[in-house]
Each structure stands twice: as C-alpha cells, then as structure tokens.
Amino acid sequence: MLYLVAFLLHCLPLAMGQYDICKSWVTTDDGPSWEFYACQPKAMRMKDYVTVRVDPAGITCGDPPERFCTHENPYLCSDECDASNPDLAHPPKLMFDSEDEGLATYWQSVTWRRYPEPLLANITLSWNKSIELTDDIVITFEYGRPTVMMLEKSLDNGRTWHPYQYYADDCMEAFSMPARRVRELSSSSANRVLCTEEYSRWAGSKKEKTVRFEVRDRFAIFAGPDLRNMGNLYTRLESAKGLRDFFTITDLRMRLLRPALGGTYVQRENLYKYFYAVSNIEVTGRCKCNLHANLCTFREGSLQCECEHNTTGQDCGKCKKSFRSRSWRAGSYLPLPNGSPNACAAAGSAFGNCECYGHSNRCSYIDFLNVVTCVSCKHNTRGQHCQHCRLGFYRNSSAELDDENVCIECNCNQIGSMHDRCNETGYCECREGATGPKCDDCLPNYYWRQGCFPNVCDDELLLCQNGGTCYQNQRCICPVGFKGVLCQQSRCEADKKDCDGAHAARGSLGTLLLTVLALQLRAWVDL
C-alpha cells in the first residue's frame, strides 16, 4: 500500500500510473496462479539514450575559431568559439548534458557570414527504437529562436521522413500555410501537422527561449486540460486510426532554416550576431513495447523492451518460439482499467497439439478423421498446421515457418507459363519457347509477342533474301519485286506485268493460272 501511494505521488503529474505491471500472482478458487495485464514502461528522459548527427559538415562553429556577437550587444563581440579549446568549444553533445549548474552549455553553429546564402542546419536524433512520446518536446535556444524551422520525424529508423510541425514568424510567407495553434485542434484533427507562429517571434533572447512540440495539448483534447481523464485518451489511442503512430517516433530531425534576426531585417554589416545555439533538447517518452513489457533497458547501445507475455523482439513485436499457436497481437488498453494482455500462447495449449505457426487462431476437430486441424490459415498457407503454401505460392526458404512472409506468390507470366503454380524454388512451368523463372523471357531463336514464337528471320540462318531486312525477328521487309516469308520469291511469278519475258517463260502452270486470275480481277476492278 505504501508503495502504491508513493507510486501514485510519483506519477500524478502525468497521471500515467496505469498499465505499470504485466502480471501478478493471485489466489483464486483453483489455487494461486499468474494473472496477466497489458503493461508499458515508464516514461523516461529520452535524451540520455540518443545519438545525434548535425549536418552539413562544418556547420558547428570553432573550426576555424570564430568571433560572434549577440543581439543585445551587437558591437561588443567578445565571445569566441574555438573547437580546439574545451572551454570555448560548442559540440553537439552539449545539447544533451544536464543543465543544473545554472550556466547553459550549448551547441553552436557558424555565423551567417555567407549571407544571403541561407544558413541551414539539420540536427538529427536517432534512438534505433520506437518511442511513444508522453510529454512535450522542448528545444531550448540560447541567443534567440530560429525565425524559420521545421520538425520532422521518422518511424522506420530514418528510412522515410514526415513533417511533424512547422515553425515560422510568418507561416504564410515561409511555408504557405496558415498559422494555427495546437489548442485550436479538435478530436478529429488531433494528429494534424500544422504551422505555428508561437515560438518564432523575437521576444528578447533572455525571455522566451523554448520551441515546443505540444504533446500534452494534444493529449488534453481527449484527457481534459489537466490530463485527468487518461482513460478516454487510452480509449482513443486504441481506436482512432493513426493517432498512436502520430506520437510514435524512432528519429527526430530539426531543420533550422533561418536564425533569429533580433529585428525585422538582417544587418549585413554585422553578420556575426546571426547563428543557432541549442542548449537543450528534452524528449520525454517511453519505449514502445506493444503493451507487452513494463521495463525497457539500454543494452548493446540500444533500448530494448524486456518482453513479457511470451513475446520477444526489440518492441515485443512477435511471439517467442514455441508460443506461436496463435498470431501475435499487441496488448490493448481496453477494457479499462487493466487492458488485455493478448499474450502469446504455448503451442499445444489450445487443442491437443495443434500448432498453426501463427497463421490461424482457430483449430477444429474433424470427427471422422480423428484429427485436429487449423482453420482458415492466413498468409497464403494451407494444411493441417498451416505448414504448406497455397497453390500459386512457394516457400520462402529464408523465412521461418511462422513468418508472415513464408509464402511468396509464384507470379508466373500468364501467357508464357502453363499454369500459375511453381516449384519449391519459385520456377514456373513454361510453354514452348518461353523461359526464365517466371516464363516471361524467350529462348534463343524465339521472339516475344503475346507469348514466344519461333523466329521467322534472323542474322544467321534464317536470312532474308534478295536484299530484304529482318524486322524484330518477326518478318522480312521485302524490296519491291520480291515476296515470301524470306523474300525468296520474285513477284513476277505472281504478276506478269512486273516481269521480263525470261521470268514469265519459266512460270509454272500454277502461277500462270494465278496470273490469269489476277488479270481478270484487275479488269473487273477497272470497270
């Protein structure tokens, strides 16, 4: 009880004390046993686990050493940045140290001496782990906040990026977006990406130093202004499409696009007072463990969920081996207050010993065969244990039997192949002349035209005669006066008018008849 009180006190500010245990030992009428619950790790200061990258190269000040001024005192330029002197250097790691000594330590960029070329910098934070934000992201700028910047996020370790929020002193001018406030959002637009002017205006460098990404204000749309109704938030996170992903990140990127100006114009005669200086980046969140873990530890350079419910993986995203009798599912916040663990079940626990490799969650007993078999195998599998691939699919040899990608479509070319089945290595059975794993190529001496056909002509054996040219192995284009598949035949054998006497004399009875016929036809047309 004491523990509980202490715990509640500790967590009240965020009211996030729910879902903190994965299981408990309970006594029931059948004796003591484990009871399982949906669970998630506590929120942490994520800056302690981040790796940072600052772009472009050479954007950090001090190499070569450089003097800079401040907006307050633009003509007293006594400050110096020198990367080779630890007391005067401003490396990126100073964005993540603790600031409790009073004096701010900060990363600083070079000054805007290349004006009017833009002063651009990217600060990329990577966790190599999916994280669910639980509080605002707060970025602290010394010497003024940027007048234009953008926040981007990635959900796939930096492979793809999406805008998260735009910041400008004039959103219309900078991004062609109307300025909006998160507080104006409604429950249907809680995951909208917007442009805000709240954090970009000049307010004197001493006063307003922070730029926020407002997580709490978005939570408040569902949980009320002081986040008391977390149940409603969890219900929404469970049901509203895309809402949970909106607060999930693996990486963050700040794109600094224009520094503080300290006024309306850039003073070209004193460019040493324009630069970026970031003293702190606070990111509060929890490891995403799919509600299957309440601990997340830093091991081998990355955060890892300590998975329960017989799940495994960095995010507890799959079932442990031999606990795959049904498909993996994330735990659920619902029903309130303890949620559903949706634990992985041991093979053999459901129905005799019916393993379905996670492709079915239903078994059925077939009376007259006296067997238990999986029902409705998914992922293109079939068989008593969903252990085979459906016709038209073949086994992915690099995937385990319980992998969702275990069966790959044969993809046989419809025209080139006999049918849409393939052998164990994905080879289709080809019609005559076709070849290739999918039968979408032709053998040598065949050409493709709605299937493979033997070459009519080529440059080796089936040469076009009498100066004809071979068109795509399909036919000979004959010069005037010749015809036939290989232009081997003179037209005078068909039409007397084109012929000299010598040729006509050698004409056979057949061609003679044809000639007569043609002449008659012409006479008839002329009429």
Ligand X SMILES: *[C@@H]1O[C@H](CO)[C@@H](O)[C@H](O)[C@H]1NC(C)=O
Toward ligand X, which CB reaches closer, 120 or 295?
120
CA–CA separation, 264 and 282 (whole Å): 30
What is d(CA 271, CA 66) in angstroms, rounded to the nearest whole number?
12
Considering only the stretches 96-104, 115-123, 451-459, 508-516, report the one whose residues sit in contact with Ca ion under the rule CB under 5 A.
96-104
Question: Which residue lies nearer to ligand X by CB, 264 or 425?
Answer: 425
What is the closest distance, in whole angstroms, from the C-beta atom of residue 98 to Ca ion in the complex?
8
Residues from 269 through 328 that contact Ca ion (CB under 5 A): 279
Choose between 287 and 470: whose C-beta lies nearer to ligand X. Answer: 287
Main-chain dihedrals φ then ψ at residue 511, nearest 5 degrees: -65, -30
Q: Which of 216, 236, 255, 385 binds ligand X (CB under 6 A)?
A: 255
Does 47 participate in binding Ca ion (rule CB under 5 A)? no
Give the ranges where 343-494 is alpha helix by DSSP (H): none
> Residues 36-75 vs ligand X: string with x where CB under 6 A?
x------------------xx-------------------
Residue among 424, 460, 500, 526 that touches ligand X (CB under 6 A): 424
Q: What is the closest distance, in whole angstroms, from the C-beta atom of residue 394 to ligand X in the complex? A: 9
Q: One symbol per residue from 352 to 391: x for binding ligand X (CB under 6 A), - otherwise; what is it?
A: ----------------------------------------
- Strands (E) across 289-396 are located at 296-299, 302-305, 311-312, 318-319, 363-366, 371-374, 381-382, 388-389, 393-395
Q: Which does 343 bind (CB under 5 to 8 A by kind): Ca ion, ligand X, none?
A: ligand X
Angstrom distances, CA of residue 222 to CA of 117, 213, 216, 314, 336: 44, 17, 10, 29, 15
By the rule CB under 6 A, 405 interacts with ligand X: yes
The amino acid occupying position 235 is T
Per the CB < 8 A criterion, the answer to whether 363 and 384 are in contact is no
Find the binder of ligand X among 205, 310, 380, 387 (CB under 6 A): 310
210 binds, among ligand X, Ca ion, none (CB under 5 to 8 A by kind): none
Quote the least distance from Cβ 392 to ligand X, whole Å: 15
302 sits near ligand X (criterion: CB under 6 A): yes
- What residues have CB less than 8 Å from 58, skipping those under 6 apart? 110
**Is there binding between residue 94 and Ca ion (CB under 5 A)?**
yes
Token reading at 486: 């290989």
Instruction: Report the alpha-carbon distance of residue 512 to residue 401 in Å, rounded.
Output: 74
| Nearest-10 Cα torsion for 97, 98, 100, 102 | 20
Query: How many residues of this chain interact with ligand X, rule: CB under 6 A?
Result: 29
Rg (CA), the chain: 37
10 Å CB burial of residue 453 (0-12, 13-18, 19+) is middle
Single out the segment in contact with ligand X by CB under 6 A; choices: 175-183, 207-215, 392-400, 455-463: 392-400
User: CB of residue 145 vs ligand X: minimum separation in angstroms?
Assistant: 18
Residues 453-482 that bind ligand X (CB under 6 A): none
Per CB under 5 A, 235 contacts Ca ion: no
85 lies in the site for ligand X, by CB under 6 A: no
Query: In the structure encoding, which two tokens stand for residue 335, read together?
Result: 């029903």
Helix pair 230-239, 215-223: axis angle to 10 deg: 100
Q: For ligand X, which residue of 20, 79, 403, 420 counts as binding (CB under 6 A)?
A: 403
| CA atoms of 316 and 309, how far apart (whole Å) | 9
* Rounded Cα–Cα distance for residues 304 and 296 (Å): 5
Strand pairing class (277-282; 137-141): antiparallel
Binding mask 102-141 for Ca ion (x = CB under 5 A): ---x------------------------------------
7 binds ligand X (CB under 6 A): no
87-146 residues near ligand X, rule: CB under 6 A: 120, 122, 128
First to last CA, the chain: 116
94 interface partner picked from ligand X, Ca ion, none, CB below 5 to 8 A per type = Ca ion
Q: The tokens 């969890």 sit on which residue?
A: 234
Scanning 184-192, 299-307, 454-462, 502-510 for contacts with ligand X by CB under 6 A, the matching segment is 299-307
User: Least separation, in Å, of the C-beta of 291 and Ca ion?
Assistant: 34
CA distance 381 to 389: 4
Which structure tokens are listed for 151?
A: 């926040």
Q: How far is CA 526 from CA 512, 517, 523, in A?
A: 21, 14, 5
What's the min distance (Å) between Cβ of 282 and Ca ion?
11
Stretch that binds Ca ion, among 11-19, 99-107, 150-158, 293-301 (CB under 5 A): 99-107
Q: Which residue has the tokens 């916040």?
A: 333
The entry of ligand X, Ca ion, none near residue 105 (CB within 5 to 8 angstroms by kind) is Ca ion
Q: Which amino acid is at 204?
A: G
Stretch that binds Ca ion, among 85-93, 94-102, 244-252, 419-427 (CB under 5 A): 94-102
Of 351, 364, 292, 293, the residue nearest 325 (C-alpha): 351
Binding site for Ca ion (CB under 5 A): 94, 97, 105, 279
Binding site for ligand X (CB under 6 A): 34, 36, 55-56, 120, 122, 128, 152, 161, 253, 255, 301-302, 304, 309-310, 314, 343, 346, 396, 398-399, 403, 405, 408, 423-425, 427
